[in-house]
Amino acid sequence: MEKYVIKGGVPLVGEVEIGGAKNAALAILAAAIMSDETVYIDNMPDEADTNAMLQAISSTGAFVDRTGRHSVKINASQIHDYTIENDYIKKIRASYYLLGALLGKYKKAGVVLPGGCNIGLRPIDQHIKGFTALGASVNIEHGIIDARADKLVGSHIYLDVVSVGATINIMMAAAMAEGKTIIENAAKEPHVVDFANFLNSMGANIKGAGTDVIRIKGVEKFHGTEYTIIPDQIEAGTFMLAAAATKGDITVKNVIPKHLESISAKLIEMGCQIQESDDAVRVVATRRLQNTHVKTLPYPGYPTDMQPQITVALGLASGISIVTESIFENRFKYVDELTRMGASIKVEGSTAIIEGVDKYTGAVVSAPDLRAGAALVIAALTAEGYSTIEDIKYIERGYEDLDVKLRELGAHIEKVDSDRDIQKFKLKNA
């Protein structure tokens, strides 16, 4: 089982290129099968989740040609299978996007119930509410969600919770329905906007993405397109928090600074200097971080996917900080692991009360989910001594070459798969 081994205590300094947004890519790849013409996608991250999605798309009979590490050509004119239940697709939450794509195009779909991080219940009732409102009948049998309709007709849908997945999935199903659909209380994340732009590039008629009311006029067919995915707001934020926690100086490049505003604002409150340019943000942290309070919210609020990372940084700040997780009900599981590194954090329900400590000390910890895993890597990079991060498969679902990029910023980190390699690393970095 591969692990990361890290020797902490080195401020991270330098520039890092940010890749394509995982949570935009997963939706865009799924929607690419809605056209019968060739779709070219670029700036796709090379991660376990996107690769699993490509395998699932291929299993439907669609033609998938990986033209490069970050580019793919998809032609779905020969799809012959509308039920997807292979093992790898069970691992990713975004498998449900294939439901919206197949239902929207073929009016029938079957997809295995989604997997994903264990950060909460993660129901899909709002997705089903939207599909049903459009005229589909949806049943869950033997672990498969089956959705079918004689035809889909536009509807006025009010989401009970702000849901990225449901907003995207309903947009997909409505894009080829008859008539108009309005989605109220829609999610406004950058990847929701990127997804709507992608559908429109194939001939969809979607307006209002990025606001809480999205209007869709159904169209008959989609044509082919060439599309470049936006940069990953959360990968960029993760490196920004790594700069803050290690008292470093990192410039994240190939980003959209506006997407990072809530993160930059918190870093300024914590005493970091932020310099923005057109497509880069520089974070400099020269002294001990100051405490602050954070509440995760739907975009443009502070992102839930950046909650573990800022908690790690605040664990080293002066004073008491409070982090409230308002999106998922079980997203502080990593605190037990962080405590093994010396953190002083008390979790009460959806709130973490953080008493800053002078330092973390290296330990063997396990990544409970994707973003918490990345946060534990940040903690290990600041810690005195050596750390081993286990279960890095979760981390590699959503970060491409994390160890490589961190080494280029001066980190002592290696991916190993034996205790012997860990000993060799320790000798090399003694």
Mind telling me the catalytic residues? Answer: 117
Q: Are 327 and 294 in contact (CB under 8 A)?
A: no
Could you tell me which stretch among 7-15, 29-37, 118-126, 380-388 binds ligand EPZ (CB under 6 A)? 118-126
Closest-CA residue to 183 (of 195, 308, 141, 315): 195
| Cis amide prior to 300 (ω within 30 degrees) | yes
Could you tell me which stretch among 32-40, 113-121, 196-204, 380-388 binds ligand EPZ (CB under 6 A)? 113-121
Site for ligand EPZ contains 91 (CB under 6 A): no
Site for ligand EPZ contains 371 (CB under 6 A): yes
Q: How far apart are CA 430 and CA 385, in angstroms?
A: 10
Q: How far apart are CA 135 and CA 107, in angstroms?
A: 10
Min dist. Cβ of residue 275 to ligand EPZ (A): 27
Min dist. Cβ of residue 94 to ligand EPZ (A): 4
Which residues 186-245 are close enough to bind ligand EPZ by CB under 6 A? 187, 189
Q: Are 173 and 157 in contact (CB under 8 A)?
A: no
DSSP state of 114: P
* Residue whose structure tokens are 């994707």: 370
Strand order in the sheet with 386-390: 364-366, 386-390, 3-7, 412-416
Q: How far apart are CA 8 and CA 424, in angstroms?
A: 16
Category of 271 on φ-ψ map: left (φ > 0), alpha (ψ -120 to 50) or beta: left
Q: How far apart are CA 265 and CA 230, in angstroms?
A: 21
Query: Of the candidates 163, 238, 246, 264, which one interacts with ligand EPZ according to CB under 6 A?
Result: 163
Dump the DSSP string for 311-368: HHHHTTSBSEEEEE--S-SS--TTHHHHHTTT--EEEETTEEEEE--S--B--EEE--
Between 22 and 412, name the residue whose CB sits nearer to ligand EPZ.
22
Between 30 and 313, name the residue whose CB sits nearer to ligand EPZ.
30
Site for ligand EPZ contains 398 (CB under 6 A): yes
Min dist. Cβ of residue 399 to ligand EPZ (A): 10
DSSP state of 383: S
Query: Of the candidates 185, 225, 304, 388, which one interacts with ligand EPZ according to CB under 6 A?
Result: 304
For ligand EPZ, how many residues bind (rule: CB under 6 A)? 28
Between 23 and 246, name the residue whose CB sits nearer to ligand EPZ.
23
Site for ligand EPZ contains 370 (CB under 6 A): yes
Q: Going by DSSP bridges, is the β-strand pair 280-284/83-84 parallel, antiparallel, or unpaired? A: unpaired
Which residues 338-367 are close enough to bind ligand EPZ by CB under 6 A? none
Min dist. Cβ of residue 387 to ligand EPZ (A): 22
Site for ligand EPZ contains 155 (CB under 6 A): no
Q: How far apart are CA 264 and CA 395, in angstroms?
A: 23
Query: Of the candidates 3, 127, 247, 412, which one interacts with ligand EPZ according to CB under 6 A?
Result: 127
Could you tell me which stretch among 147-155, 162-170, 359-367, 385-393 binds ligand EPZ (CB under 6 A)? 162-170
Could you tell me which stretch among 157-165, 242-250, 343-351, 412-420 binds ligand EPZ (CB under 6 A)? 157-165
Could you tell me which stretch among 62-70, 125-133, 140-148, 221-229 binds ligand EPZ (CB under 6 A)? 125-133
Site for ligand EPZ contains 392 (CB under 6 A): no
Radius of gyration of the chain (CA): 22
Which residues 6-35 are close enough to bind ligand EPZ by CB under 6 A? 22-23, 26
Site for ligand EPZ contains 117 (CB under 6 A): yes
Applying CB under 6 A, which residues contact ligand EPZ? 22-23, 26, 93-94, 117, 120-127, 161, 163-166, 187, 189, 304-305, 327-328, 370-371, 398
